[in-house]
Each structure stands twice: as structure tokens, then as C-alpha cells.
Structure 1
Amino acid sequence: MFVTPAYAQAAGAAPGGGINDILIQLMPILLLVVIFWFLIFRPQQKRLKAQQAMLASIKRGDTVVSTGGIIGKVTKAVDGEDLEIEIATGIKVKLVRGMVADVRSKGEPVNDNKPA
């Protein structure tokens, strides 16, 4: 009495449509990959290349800042990986080249943050 009769529907398209359906389903994933590439991976690669170029260009007389915050002047390159820096008059320490955070030019003053 309350049930309506069910009518058969016309035959639809075969399941597992064409290549267009697959591409439409993969578009959001491909879009995310492109966004990640341009916003994360590409800038990181540029920073890495700039860091490597900076480390390769360190020479005697440059003022360097270590990742620990120690500021000193390069007195000599001990070998390919180590640097000898002078942090105070007569006080020299060895520093691994990879731990250099910044290279300052010879003429750039060091900001000691001393009160005026």
C-alpha cells in the first residue's frame, strides 16, 4: 500500500570509464605535487646551493659566524674540511667548515650589541 513500484533504469555506461576519468581523479594529487615542488623543494634546493657556494668561497681573512654564534676571523684552512679561526687576540680554535652559518666580508663591522 505504501510501497511504490520500482522501475528499471536504462543501461548506463560501462564501469571503468576511459583515460579521462582516471586523469580527472588524479588531478588533485598532481596539483599538490606541483604546489609542493614550487613552494618547498625548489626554494630548499636554491638555499642549499647558495650555502655550498658560500662555504666553498671561505678564504683567509674572512670573518665568519658559526652556528653556535662564535664570531672569528679565519687564519688558515687546516685541511679541506676544517678552518682555524681566531676568536680573540691569540686564541685560535678549529671549526668544521659545515658549521659556518654566515661569512662576513673583511670590511663589515661586527655587531657586538653593546649598550651605547
Structure 2
Amino acid sequence: MEGQSADLLSSLLPLVALFAIFYFLIIRPQQKQAKKHKEMIAALKKGDKIVTNGGLMVEITKVEDDFLVVKNHDNSEMKLAKEFVAKLLD
């Protein structure tokens, strides 16, 4: 019986190691990046300049619960869902 449990343990060890490597190289960094992006979206305020997922560079004129009212370079305003904010410009 002891030989079988040792065989089982030695056959599962590479799978556990592979999962640990996968977690630390892929899953954990993605979770950190998603948390940082969520915090950035929560901190947006009027006057901030942002880039949308579509590549538009706009300025926030009003912050609502789920949407942002943004102004384009030609002063036209449009409504943008918060989840489409790619990054904040300095």
C-alpha cells in the first residue's frame, strides 16, 4: 500500500507545480491589473482626459453611476460606458 500512495503523490506533484506556475505567472498578474483598472475607473472625475478602448482621446465633463459624459476635441459631447475606458492620460 505504501508504494501506491508514493506513486500517486509523485504523479500529482508535477501537476501541482504546473498549476502553481500558471497561477503566479498568469492568473495573479491579471487579477492585480484588473483591480488597478477598477480603482482607476472609480477615481475618474470631471476634467480628466482619458483614452477609450476605441482609441478616442476625450475629456470627462460629467461622471454618472454607469456612464461618463465626455467631450471630444470639437466640443461635441457623448455618453460613454465606464467599462470602455482604457486608460487615464496625464
Q: Which residue of 2 aligns with 1:48?
A: 34
Using structure 2 for the length normalisation, give the TM-score.
0.91
Instruction: Give the helix-richer structure, 1 or 2.
Output: 2
Any gaps of 5 or more consecutive residues in structure 1? Answer: 1-13, 106-116
**1:103 & 1:76 partners in 2: Cα distance?**
15
**2:24 & 2:54 partners in 1: Cα distance?**
31
Any residues of structure 2 matched to 1:16-95 within 5 Å, and which?
17-77=3-63, 79-95=64-80
Using structure 1 for the length normalisation, give the TM-score.
0.72
Deviations 1:38-81 (A, max 9, x none): 1110111011101101110100000011000111110001x211
Alpha-carbon RMSD: 1.5
What is the CA-CA distance between 1:25 and the residue it aligns to?
1.0
**What is the number of residues matched between the two proteins?**
90
- Identity level (%): 36
Larger CA Rg, structure 1 vs 2: 1
